Amino acid sequence: MINRREILETINMIEEQNLDIRTITMGITLLDCAGADSKIACGKIYDKITRCAENLLKTGEQIEAEYGIPIINKRISVTPMALVAQASDATDYTMFAQAMDRAANEVGVNFIGGFSALVPKGYTEGDRKLIQSIPSALAATQKVCSSVCIGSTKAGLNMDAVGQMGHIIKETAEISEGAMGCAKLVVFSNAVEDNPFMAGAFHGVGEPECVINVGVSGPGVVKRALEKVPDGDFGVVAETIKKTAFKITRMGQLVAQEASRRLGVPFGIVDLSLAPTPAVGDSVAYILEEMGLEKCGTHGTTAALALLNDAVKKGGVMASSYVGGLSGAFIPVSEDAGMIDAVKCGALTLEKLEAMTCVCSVGLDMIAIPGDTPAETISAIIADEAAIGMVNQKTTAVRIIPRGKVGDMIEFGGLLGTAPVMGVNGFSSSKFISRGGRIPAPLHSLKN
């Protein structure tokens, strides 16, 4: 039972500390839309998405109004499109992305994810066609997000796909308007099937026909809670974060269950990730600095982030039996005012960010690098990040934007914010990437 004090506390967190529901994401299977005629298949895709999600936006707005809880995004994820489109006669899958985009615009959601391929061990023909279509698909659509899983702990790393994705990212940056194409493209290791966050959301084949997943946020709430224990030791810090994460997750569970009931769709998971925004105070970097770091990126940052990530998960699992997705702390540069400040003053480098991804919930997210960075260097950055995920049995990802030169600021707008262009190591990785083949799975993958 939620008492009056808890209600008032939640209202305060919403009004003063940027607490919100970051997204309600409806997952929809499209496997039954596959067919030999690509035009008919695209018609089925449009029809099913619009039928399943016709009330998603309205329901989210009703819950916002009735409970006073901000719901920032309403989104859709679908079956990885490579699995659906490969039954068709199409050689270019851009038309499938356009069908997704039309449906997203019709129902009024912010983004639709699932223009995706899963290739940890190798390609099907559908995977090849989809990956080759990514640059044109993202240039031709507004709301479609794309992802490619190139490795896992069980399978190892598909280095042919890693090498290809460096070129795909470069091509996407060249033909997409502004930098938005690359902002909608992520490369994964150990991708999860119930992730409600973009750009990596897709509806996994192990998921129900249709499902509601919710992603919560609240870095500002956590920072404010830590301000009240300025002299507490790390045990006190961890307990404070756990209790705060519990409250945040309870709110997410309430919204998820209510949306599920009203839409007549099963409730899937609450992803309790701390997802920052460009708003002042809504920053993961500021949480780390509240623990005693002069600036995010200095020595001790990785340890502080490890504590934060673990405490968030421990607090969340006590509040909900259905925690999933990625769950932890995101460290996107462009979406976090504190991270941007740390990059600008030189405290935070690409190499330090990579170290931090060993203990955060995702990886190198929304990183701008010089536009003249070679494709092979981008592939090598992906390989490093994927290896961290593979060996540590965690999800890691790379969402990287090659544009401008070091020191430039790349504007995205909205929740995506502004990214400072970061320098990369100038030595070549070309010969390493050109080897191709597969990096074998680690020994601890053999658990059966």
Residues 6+ apart with CB under 8 A from 110: 23, 73, 74, 75, 143
How many Cα atoms occupy the beta-carbon half-sphere of 91 within 13 Å? 0
Phi then psi dihedrals of residue 156, to 5 deg: 90, -160
Annotate 75-125 with DSSP letters as a single string: EEEES-HHHHHTTSS-S-THHHHHHHHHHHHHHT-SEEEEEEEE-SS---H
Q: Please, what is the angle between helix 375-392 and helix 159-175, to 10°? A: 130
pLDDT for residue 179: 65
Phi then psi dihedrals of residue 428, to 5 deg: -80, 145
Do the first three CATH levels of 22-189 and 215-438 match, i.e. the same topology? yes
C-alpha to C-alpha distances, 201 to 38, 131, 219, 325, nearest whole angstrom: 24, 16, 21, 9
Domain ranges of the chain: 22-189, 215-438
* C-alpha angle 110-114-118 in degrees, rounded to nearest 5: 155
pLDDT for residue 209: 94
Where in 261-334 does DSSP place strands (E)?
A: 267-271
How confident is the prediction along the chain (448 residues), in pLDDT tens digits per residue? 444 455 455 555 555 455 677 889 999 999 999 999 999 999 999 999 999 999 999 998 888 888 777 788 899 999 999 999 999 999 999 999 999 999 999 999 999 999 999 999 999 999 999 999 999 999 999 999 999 999 999 999 999 999 999 999 999 999 886 668 888 999 999 999 988 888 889 999 999 999 999 888 778 788 888 989 999 999 999 999 998 888 888 888 888 888 889 999 999 988 887 777 666 567 889 999 999 999 999 999 999 999 998 998 888 888 777 887 777 777 778 778 888 889 988 999 999 989 999 888 788 888 999 999 999 999 999 999 999 999 999 999 999 999 989 988 888 766 677 888 999 999 999 999 999 999 998 888 777 6
- Tokens representing 142? 């507004």
Least Cα distance to 287 among 334, 248, 337 occurs for: 337
| Amino acid, single-letter form, for residue 156 | G
Q: Which CATH number fits domain 215-438: 3.50.50.60, 3.40.50.2300, 3.30.70.2190, 3.20.70.20?
A: 3.20.70.20
Q: Does residue 384 contact residue 437 with C-beta atoms inside 8 Å?
A: no
In whole angstroms, give the CA distance from residue 392 to residue 387: 8
* Cα-based torsion angle of the residue sequence 88, 172, 73, 77 in order, rounded to the nearest 10 degrees: 20
Task: Name the CATH architecture for the domain at 22-189.
Answer: Alpha-Beta Barrel (3.20)
pLDDT for residue 415: 65
pLDDT for residue 336: 82
pTM of the predicted protein model: 0.91
pLDDT for residue 70: 79
Residue listed under structure tokens 């695209």: 42
Residues 6+ apart with CB under 8 A from 29: 78, 79, 203, 205, 207, 208, 209, 210
Annotate 416-435 with DSSP letters as a single string: G-EEEBPP---S--HHHHHT
pLDDT for residue 280: 54
Beta bridge partners of 148: 117, 187
Beta bridge partners of 365: 399
pLDDT for residue 428: 95
* C-alpha angle 349-351-352 in degrees, rounded to nearest 5: 65
pLDDT for residue 111: 94
Q: Does residue 188 contact residue 200 with C-beta atoms inside 8 Å?
A: yes
Residues 6+ apart with CB under 8 A from 290: 223, 226, 227
* C-alpha angle 188-190-192 in degrees, rounded to nearest 5: 90
In whole angstroms, give the CA distance from residue 441 to residue 448: 14
In whole angstroms, give the CA distance from residue 24 to residue 22: 7
Q: Give the distance, in angstroms, between the CA of residue 164 and the centroid of all CA atoms in the same chain.
A: 21
Q: Does residue 178 contact residue 231 with C-beta atoms inside 8 Å?
A: no
